[in-house]
Chains A and B, each alone.
Chain A
């Protein structure tokens, strides 16, 4: 019996060593630039960070920790709540020892798919193709004190001991400034702007009900993340409501629905939107680019950029948004990019960018 067990363990040990050897050799060498990139992201998708790192060229000058943080996110950003979904690669240029591979990376996130396009340089290193990983420079905010005149609104609601005449504080006065319906890509899109005209913060929702030619309600939808839900006094937000598969000709009327609620809120952080300009990205699509700059001292984990585009008559012609998958550290610029429909780019006369913010340690957000 003892001899049989010894044989079993010996066979098992040899088998495991063999499996380990095979696994190691798969990671070690890639025979093509595209294969190296695919293998790197394949391992990253399986959270085999060591395996993925083995495809990174030594000349990249990035340690494994930094490489993992590049892919898996840092500082509680949206990337840390994401899962690598798929990778499409295309060789743009290839020589004997060097190649450029355009890599379109798709992440699945809690707020929908997130796309990233990178032109990765792949080099032949000791006979195998390896990716020269463009190390993201980790920003360290120097220790400092940033004074903030903290402004917030707290609310005393009516209590159970109050008589029936004791009025509650009233909900804020908000107003839908404009509403514009267009048909794009087989969907009816309602967009416009809403303003908080009051002196207190408001939590707002904006929706629309479509009525057909028979006077019957056919669809109801609300704006989810194409809207700033918390509006400070005099703040204006765009909204966009999409009705996929509905034609404008089938709709007789649109009934707007809204709800304004008084909520406690904070006036911080203040986020500047710098160097805004419309240009083409790597893939030739029109985008609105710029930098976000957190002027306060608290980290914004998930910045959400909302862009409103106007024609020369001042009418809202498009509302677009984008989540940044990088946290916004204090006093540190962070680039952003919001897509703009190519067919509308020529009609854009001006635009306005606002930023929503979600912070893990701030319950008001």
Chain B
């Protein structure tokens, strides 16, 4: 009889120990990903707290089973702590990785740049998932720089620690360059204005375009830089007429590629034209026509 009682006690003790062990079970996945659902195995009943970077999730559970965490609940990547309070108290650390690329932050500098300059445009991309977690694993980032629909320069760079960058020359063609960074199906566009350089002295010419009343109208040919790009509208072009009555000047603006000025008609005058430090041709006019 004593033996039977002893065996019964041993069985009861083992039963209790097994029950306790089951209550302490906390099964955490090894590859949790932000934005994806998560299932955490528990035993017994109690409350599960998940404490992550800038975020806390609280779940009640009963009689074992799994606790389901929805994808939109698990937003932050990084180090998390799972804490169980209930039949037993327990905590465990697990890691959540960023999801797939969903957002790019793209810094393109400068916003305006002269044409045909080497390594003058820089682009820096930070790769994030849809919940703004920086993706530290290497990701291929494609950079494309094109002007006016023409095929431009394209380069693929692998990100390091979440960052990918390139430096690029400006194109020889002026215009608003589309600078696009792409990762997967996510892309961001920036505009880099590529502007013409100073007027080219070889092609900087003016001529008498006519007469309006007692004024002589002078106009330049289309003003271009030495690469053939039109100098931007609005650039100041100074016409200077010198005759016996003194000096007359007009600070004209380039409009639609040319600059135009009205100067007083003169019997004998010299007209010069300049834009910045670049001088154009010189005209001698001999009176009203």
Q: Which residues of A come within 8 Å of B, CB atoms?
A: 149, 151, 153, 163-170, 195, 198-201, 232-235, 267-268, 270-277, 290, 293, 295, 352-354
Contacts and interface: CB of A to CB of B under 8 A. Distances in A.
B110 interface: yes
Contact of A276 (B105, B106, B110, B248): B248
B234 A276 contact: no
B195 A149 contact: no
Interface string B105-120: 1111111100000000
Contacts of A277: 245-247
B234 A233 contact: yes
Given A234-B275, A276-B247, A199 B111 contact: no
A167 B250 contact: no
Contacts of A153: 234
> For the complex, would chain B's binding face be called helix, strand, loop or mixed by DSSP majority?
strand
Contact of A272 (B196, B246, B250): B250
Nearest to B125: A165
B232 A275 contact: no
Given A165-B106, A200-B112, A267 B247 contact: no
A233 B250 contact: no
A96 B108 CA distance: 83
Contacts of B247: 275-277
B253 A353 contact: no
B253 A165 contact: no
A233 B110 CA distance: 18
B236 A167 contact: no
Contacts of B245: 275, 277
A182 B278 CA distance: 30
B276 interface: yes
**Size class of the contact patch on chain B:** 35 or more
B25 interface: no
Given A170-B111, A275-B248, A276-B248, A151 B233 contact: yes
18 contacts: A165-B126, A169-B111, A169-B112, A170-B111, A199-B235, A200-B112, A232-B235, A232-B236, A234-B276, A267-B255, A270-B252, A272-B248, A274-B246, A274-B248, A275-B248, A276-B247, A290-B248, A295-B261
A217 to B, nearest CB: 33
Given A167-B111, A199-B235, A274-B264, 7 more contacts: A149-B256, A165-B126, A199-B112, A199-B196, A268-B253, A275-B245, A276-B247
Nearest to A355: B251
B262 interface: yes
A176 to B, nearest CB: 15
B177 interface: no
B211 interface: no
Contacts of A271: 251
B100 interface: no
A302 to B, nearest CB: 18
Contacts of B136: none
Contacts of A267: 233-234, 253, 255
B251 A354 contact: yes
A90 B191 CA distance: 67
